[in-house]
Amino acid sequence: MARFVLAIDQGTTGSTVALMDARGKLRASINVEFPQLYPQPGWVEHRPADIWASVGKALRAIQRKKICKPGEIVAIGITNQRETSLLWDRQSGEPLNNAIVWQCRRTTDFCESLRSAGHERTVKRLSGLVLDPYFSASKYRWLLNNTPGISRLLKNGRVAAGTIDSFLIWQLTGGQVHATDVSNASRTSLMNLKSADWDAQLLDLFQVPRDILPQIVPSSGVLGHTRGVPGLPDGIPISGVAGDQQAALFGQACFGVGDAKCTFGTGSFILMNTGSERLLSESGLLTTVAWQLGEKARPVYALEGGAFVCGAAVQWLRDGLHMIKAAPAIEPLARQVPDHGGVEFVPALTGLGAPHWAPDARGTLTGLTRGTQRGHIARATLDAMALQNADILHAMEGDLGKRMKPLRVDGGAAANDLLMQIQADVLGRRLIRPAVIETTVAGACYLAGLGVGLWESTAQVKKIWRAQREFKVELSAAARRKRHASWNDALRRTLLQT
């Protein structure tokens, strides 16, 4: 009998369901989008019912392809938008409010109050994260303080809280399992990195009751079985769970210390495997759990840095400035000029992330002359996407104390050959683009397959992984230093405005 792993990749704008066979080949993938809600400036929400409906629609679409019989699905893997948080009723299963999305900034004032009171060092030491509304803890607090009837439900033990992986596990198991994996838990600001359990001091600081939170489980291993899911038989093991960026790291087979990946999406997300060592960054980066393979295994940790605006900068050129008609058009436009022509674009359109953490920073476009063309601005945009990633990766090398291995790349913008060459040049490291570009899906499949013994080890998974193309460094060290000096000057100008 053929054996398949089904992956659910629940993202910020849509849900993807995919099938991978036992040889590691992705056989089908369906994405279904759902609405984004913006009730106030800076607020972003999702309706949980829309999320679950999008998963169901994608499941039905995959089944119509008839790649396999339902009984040939031996495991389910889940990967998800990470910090997005919600509450639901344990008794009815109904959501108690809209989910607060990771992008939402509504808890900025509360986080600032904790920072002013001197709590940031404690939060960083225990959780590995900075004090920022990005993470789940302050979102849970806001929901607990602003959901009608919550006091009665809390008193009766009916409130369940979770990130999106927990909500999907609850739905897939018919309400039998309330769990989250250790990688997602590490993004809440409530988990102690050393113990891999909820931390009493952090729970008290953010005013979140422990009993509403899910059980923390490994990223690979059977944690529950399907029950009452339309179109799926009962009893399929759910055996792999990881946050989307950790799943991408796993899907890129970054199993060794110093292995790193960069996902080029709306923002860019960079993770570097640090093994069993919990490195607390001195460079404004985050410490996170990458994965845990089974109850007896030790967690694997990673350093993480993210740029809030990556592909979104191209979208802004398309939708805001109407400079291009479609995102792929930026590559031929940028190729019209030999370089950026002195133009610098710092894409702080929603603030600056790691390693600066300047939420009030705003974008700057400098170096314009009468000779500036659209191609220079397009090239400066690609340069900026690569340079901000290089800043993060160089900070990671400093924290790790060793030179990184070649960088593995994925995400939609990784298909842009010019951008990939620029990234290799400004970073001064080789880039490797995989044959399977859907690395979050691949990571969820690998974790789930390992969890049921479809694959025996990460060594076997590594044999499945294939490279599609390498990008070698073509820029001299002197030219690289000059390029970074111009970029750093533009960064200083941007930060002076905050």
User: Is residue 12 in some structural domain?
Assistant: yes
Residue 1, pLDDT > 70, answer no
User: Is residue 390 in some structural domain?
Assistant: no
Check residue 213 and give its pLDDT. Answer: 98
Check residue 403 and give its pLDDT. Answer: 82
Strands (E), 11-72: 14-21, 26-33, 45-46
Residues 16, 349: Cα–Cα separation, whole Å: 28
Q: How far apart are the first and last CA of the chain?
A: 61
List of residues 6+ apart from 497 with CB closer than 8 A:
361, 362, 364
Residues 32, 59: Cα–Cα separation, whole Å: 10
Residues 265, 198: Cα–Cα separation, whole Å: 30
Please tell me which residue, 437 or 89, carries the higher pLDDT value. 89
Model confidence over 181-210: pLDDT tens digits?
999 999 999 999 999 999 999 999 999 999
Residue 177, pLDDT > 90, answer yes
Residues 84, 67: Cα–Cα separation, whole Å: 32
Check residue 313 and give its pLDDT. Answer: 87
Residues 470, 468: Cα–Cα separation, whole Å: 7
User: Would strands 73-80 and 4-10 be described as parallel, antiparallel, or unpaired?
Assistant: parallel
SS3 at position 239: strand
Structure token pair of residue 447: 């974790």
Model confidence over 316-325: pLDDT tens digits?
899 888 999 9
SS3 at position 94: coil
Q: Bridge partners of 31?
A: 16
Taking a C-beta distance cutoff of 8 angstroms, is the pair 287, 326 a contact?
Answer: no
User: Is residue 189 in some structural domain?
Assistant: yes
List of residues 6+ apart from 416 with CB closer than 8 A:
328, 330, 331, 382
Residue 494, pLDDT > 90, answer no
Model confidence, pTM? 0.89
Number of C-beta neighbours around residue 231 at 10 A: 11
User: Is residue 286 in some structural domain?
Assistant: no
Q: Which of 225, 266, 224 is nearest to 245 (CA)?
A: 266
287-323: string of b/e by CB count within 10 Å (b at 16+)?
Answer: bbbbbbbeeeeebbbbbbbbbbbbbbbbebbbeeeeb
SS3 at position 101: coil
Check residue 498 and give its pLDDT. Answer: 64
Q: In which region does residue 118 sit, left (phi positive, over 0), alpha (psi from -120 to 50) or beta (all else)?
A: left
Q: Mean of the pLDDT values across residues 451-461? A: 94
Residues 483, 13: Cα–Cα separation, whole Å: 35
User: Is residue 295 in some structural domain?
Assistant: no
In degrees, to the nearest 5, what angle opens at C-alpha 156 toward C-alphas 153 and 158?
60
Model confidence over 80-123: pLDDT tens digits?
999 999 999 999 999 999 999 988 889 999 999 999 999 999 99
Q: Report the run of H or E that residue 364 belongs to, with start and end.
A: strand 364-366
Q: In which region does residue 73 sit, left (phi positive, over 0), alpha (psi from -120 to 50) or beta (all else)?
A: beta
| Cα dihedral: 62, 65, 71, 72 (round 10) | -100
Q: Bridge partners of 21?
A: 4
Residues 443, 453: Cα–Cα separation, whole Å: 15
Q: Report the run of H or E that residue 344 belongs to, with start and end.
A: strand 344-346
Residues 95, 254: Cα–Cα separation, whole Å: 36
Instruction: Tell me whether residue 257 is exposed, middle or buried, using C-beta atoms within 10 angstroms of its C-beta: 0 to 12, 13 to 18, 19 or more.
Output: middle
In degrees, to the nearest 5, what angle opens at C-alpha 49 toward C-alphas 350 and 231?
125
Check residue 306 and give its pLDDT. Answer: 84
What's the structural domain count of the chain? Answer: 1
Residue 18's CATH number:
3.30.420.40
Quote the percentage of the chain above a pLDDT of 70. 100
* Residue 235 phi, psi dihedral angles, 5° rounding: 95, 5
Across the chain, mean pLDDT equals 92
Check residue 405 and give its pLDDT. Answer: 83
Residues 3, 487: Cα–Cα separation, whole Å: 50
Check residue 153 and give its pLDDT. Answer: 95
Residues 54, 105: Cα–Cα separation, whole Å: 25
List of residues 6+ apart from 295 with CB closer than 8 A:
218, 221
Residue 16, pLDDT > 90, answer yes
Residues 163, 351: Cα–Cα separation, whole Å: 24
Model confidence over 29-53: pLDDT tens digits?
999 999 989 999 889 999 999 999 9
Instruction: Tell me whether residue 458 is exposed, middle or buried, using C-beta atoms within 10 angstroms of its C-beta: 0 to 12, 13 to 18, 19 or more.
Output: middle
Q: Which of 273, 240, 167 is nearest to 442 (CA)?
A: 240
Check residue 360 and give its pLDDT. Answer: 77
CA distances from 317 to 324, 340, 349 (A): 7, 16, 12
User: Is residue 465 in some structural domain?
Assistant: no
Check residue 67 and give its pLDDT. Answer: 86
Strands (E), 188-321: 191-192, 197-198, 215-217, 220-225, 237-243, 260-264, 268-275, 286-291, 300-307
User: Is residue 323 in some structural domain?
Assistant: no
Residue 44: which domain range? Answer: 4-252
Model confidence over 354-396: pLDDT tens digits?
778 777 788 899 999 999 999 999 999 999 999 999 999 888 8
Model confidence over 241-256: pLDDT tens digits?
999 999 999 999 999 9
Residues 202, 193: Cα–Cα separation, whole Å: 12
Residues 479, 425: Cα–Cα separation, whole Å: 9
Confidence of residue 178 (pLDDT cuts 50, 70, 90): very high
User: Is residue 80 in some structural domain?
Assistant: yes
Residue 153 identity? L
Check residue 29 and give its pLDDT. Answer: 93
**DSSP single-letter state for residue 281:** P
